[in-house]
Structure 1
Amino acid sequence: MSADREPVLRGVLDEWKAAVDAHAPDRIAACFTDDAIFQGLHPYTVGRPGIAAYYDSQPRGMTATYRILETRQPAEGLLLGYLSVDFAFLDRPTLTVQLGVLVTRTEQGWRISHYQVSHLG
């Protein structure tokens, strides 16, 4: 993993994690571009309103812990991250998923422009 890519990716993901842990749907959505493609474990959505609605539907007390597995820089101003994420809940077992994100440099800073979760079982 390139040392110069990880801090950028962590900056975005740490804010996403803090907002998930705080159950702050609008704050989570602000981590994304206006036109982000978002695929959680429900049908996909495009844009911040759908992302906020998705996270608003998640149970209070849910937290996220991530581990970066791989990074790539496909082009200037773009970073690809492949992660393992543990979503912990108050009333059920932790769910481990794999997450691919494309992070884009915008005028407002780095934001997630593509988010795709896989649950491998």
Structure 2
Amino acid sequence: MNSTADNETILRGVLDEWKATVDAHEPERVASHFSEDAIFQGLHPYSVGRQSIADYYDSQPLGMTADYRILETRQLAEDLVLGYMSVDFTFTDRPTLTVYLSLVVKQTADNWYISHYQVSSLG
């Protein structure tokens, strides 16, 4: 089993790429960090699959950026890591939105991909 540090390294590898593509407003590239059958729950009704994820991020305003902080990790299996994060989405025209993000990343032959993504807004 991986240590907490190993789990954080795995999550950062995926999330740093996710953040870079969110910040650059590149919805197709954002979606490429998810598995083909990923379950995605942003702040809209849930969807499944990369195309719906690309559509979601395409609808986000230009200039939106994401900054995350890993709060907890768990290794669920050799090829599965759970992460729980706080994420600040910053906008050019409105206050920062802080949400909590739970995700599961899964290792495939070539990389780690987000297979489950769920945002909650507390408060």
Fold-level similarity (TM above 0.5)? yes
Task: Give the match for residue 55 of structure 1.
Answer: 57
1:100 maps to: 102
Q: How big is the shift at 1:120?
A: 0.2
Query: Aligned-pair distance for 1:107?
Result: 2.1
- In the alignment, the residues of structure 2 paired with residue 81 and residue 115 of structure 1 have an alpha-carbon distance, to the nearest angstrom, of 10
What TM-score results when the alignment is normalised by the length of structure 2?
0.97
Aligned counterpart, 2:72:
70
- AA aligned to 2:83 is G
Name structure 2 gaps, 5 residues minimum.
none
1:23-64 per-position Cα deviation (integer Å, ceiling 9, x unaligned): 000000000000000000000000000000000000000000
Q: Structure 1 counterpart of 2:57, which letter? A: Y
User: Gapped runs of 5+ residues in structure 1?
Assistant: none
Number of aligned positions between the proteins: 121
Q: CA deviation at 1:70?
A: 0.2
How far apart, CA to CA, are the structure 2 residues paired with 1:91 and 1:98? 22
Specify the alignment match of 1:84 in structure 2. Answer: 86
**Structure-1-length-normalised TM-score:** 0.98
Separation of aligned partners in 1, 2:96 and 2:51: 26
- Superposition CA RMSD, Å: 0.8
